[in-house]
Structure 1
């Protein structure tokens, strides 16, 4: 089945092939061309699902030059799909320049929902997920890595990083040094794969576990750090928390927090943040 002319952004499994959606298979089978980060890697995936669509390489080194060629394909009425080696394209993967070029040329870009290691790991981390910042990979060089963490030190959002096996210990040590040994951290490794593991604790605790276990230094890794805390949560009186809980039985959290703050003379943001972290 041929598809309407457009660039389709198609997520692929980050590990478990059972996460490939029927829609993703339908689109990859129906387009005229699939742009892949690595045609050999993606060829195995496409073959597994019986997809025989022609492929072309699109990666960091050729993306800018390849973008106009793909626009020409769209101009000729062809439908094109973009995939990365795993997960959702453009998330720490190539595709930004292509999508921008395609949109500027006036063609439609259609995204499919699907696997993303950062979001999947966050959902199981137990860290606040109402506000977060995805930072991709930390810099490879030590000074740049420390400088980047220093910039993020007082960010109140949950921080999410990708990391490679050969740099994981260096990055954990940098997090301990800059964000602090007591900063709460969760390390997700090999998400959706056979050896999936989640390590949680203080940054110092997780760093020590990983340093002592070579198996924890393998595979695809997502690091998640609790955001900076001003300490306001710890100062909330128990009576105010009781009031907030009672109000939440009848009101939305935002209104309940504002009212509880007014009653007890407190900051509504602190109460709201506390409420978000509860399972009432």
Structure 2
């Protein structure tokens, strides 16, 4: 293994992987090496550009902490997170489409009774939410757990606000016998992803904005079904066509307003969620 040039070095690196015991690891790294080398040859990467890339990745890692994951932000803004999500969630007809989890999920959200107000007294325009959870074939699913969370009308989540003494705008519910759930809260706003680090500077250099359209997060689980992670987006929000993390899908856009019996427009969201059944894997009989 010597005397390498731009034409033969790729195969030399691939050959060096021959003794890799993990077959999947070998497949992944082989493909990575081939694509990475082809990329470098395609753009004829200069030393200055290579050094800038190393510096960018170093600063991205240095920005990470137990409260912030800049590499996930990088993955999100390059569309990789949504691509991985799409490959791993090919949904049957009747099942709700998925999107990214986002960084603000809290596993210990309080379980509240149906119809509860989850705003915790935070000021904002009131929003009522009504949903039904079904199997992809339309059968209602009783007892499904429904985690919900969203930003306030300034675009901030509770965990971003040091002055809040408790969780707000998030909760867990269980569907009733008809698969239904309901709660009230406040209208969420569109907001920027964190853009004070290397990913934000990358977006600025690329002429891109950091904003996400207004949405409510849902994580829905039921025994025998694939857990659904998704958002429902406000149909009137800005940035639906330019979400910084490429998370918007047409099926996940819904009106956040409706008319009551008197014709007065009120803020409300009604949505049907369909869950994908898990494969029925049986052992040999």
Both proteins in one fold, TM over 0.5: no
Q: Which has the higher strand share?
A: 2
Structure with bigger RCO (C-alpha 8 Å, 6+ apart): 2
Q: Which has the higher helix share?
A: 1
Q: TM-score range by the shorter chain?
A: under 0.3
